Amino acid sequence: MSYAIIGFGKIGQALAHAFARKNIEVTVASRRPPEALATQARAIGPTVVAKSLRDALEADTIILAVPFGEHREVAKALPNWKGKTVIDAMNAFPVPEELDGLPSSAFVAKSFTGARLVKGFNHLIAATLATDPVVTGGHRVVFLSGDDEDAIAPVADLAKQLGFAPVKLGKLNEGGALVHARGRSWGQLIFQDLFKKEQ
């Protein structure tokens, strides 16, 4: 598997720290050229490599960490997303009217034609997400949801490799509703920093 984080702000860098901690290679990209991100990427760790957006999108698994409204710009960068898994770490808040009642990740999925979309890594503030998810006796929980059940398993594997305890919530408009905002209210699991005990 190859991984890219699109958006190298607070959440993108928090996730880059998680990859670096476990020596897992990850590409990072934004609208700026890779040279503009390289120093920060190197400072996080040697497995974090800045590339152009186009080169980063060659990864199999793409984590979206851009402002919600920018997802369409990222989607336009590839004519077809077939074979890719897109992990939506974005939050839409307050929820824009254009979503017309859809969970924000279902709305995002409409732009990434052919991709398998999983919502995840979106429920914690960046400063918390950046810290080591492995604590004495436990692992920090991340919630995963999506309408394609087969797509969730490899993302759960990635979360485990990064030291998190993945908790699957099911479909976006079922369990996934707990990690989506509705109007001006956050889903009940958003900002809940939970840990799962070692088995």
Ligand X SMILES: NC(=O)c1ccc[n+]([C@@H]2O[C@H](COP(=O)([O-])OP(=O)(O)OC[C@H]3O[C@@H](n4cnc5c(N)ncnc54)[C@H](OP(=O)(O)O)[C@@H]3O)[C@@H](O)[C@H]2O)c1
The residue nearest ligand X at its CB is: 9
Q: Give me the residues that bind ligand X (CB under 6 A), please.
A: 6-12, 30-32, 53, 65-68, 70, 73-74, 89-91, 122, 125-126
To the nearest whole angstrom, how small is the minimum distance from the Cβ of residue 163 to ligand X?
Answer: 18
Amino acid letter at 39? T
- For residue 151, the SS3 value is helix
CA 100 to chain centre: 23
Helix (H) / strand (E) containing 105: helix 104-111
User: Can you tell me the distance from the alpha carbon of 163 to that of 63, in angstroms, rounded to the nearest whole number?
Assistant: 17
Nearer to ligand X, 25 or 70 (CB): 70
User: Can you tell me the distance from the alpha carbon of 175 to that of 158, in angstroms, rounded to the nearest whole number?
Assistant: 20
Q: Write the CB contacts of 155 (distance below 8 Å, at least 6 apart in sequence).
A: 61, 85, 87, 118, 120, 144, 166
Instruction: Copy the structure tokens of residue 107.
Output: 């709305």
Of how many residues is the chain composed? 199
User: Can you tell me the distance from the alpha carbon of 169 to that of 52, in angstroms, rounded to the nearest whole number?
Assistant: 33
Nearer to ligand X, 2 or 149 (CB): 2
Nearer to ligand X, 124 or 158 (CB): 124
Nearer to ligand X, 68 or 147 (CB): 68
Nearer to ligand X, 66 or 165 (CB): 66
To the nearest whole angstrom, how small is the minimum distance from the Cβ of residue 52 to ligand X?
Answer: 10
To the nearest whole angstrom, how small is the minimum distance from the Cβ of residue 139 to ligand X?
Answer: 19
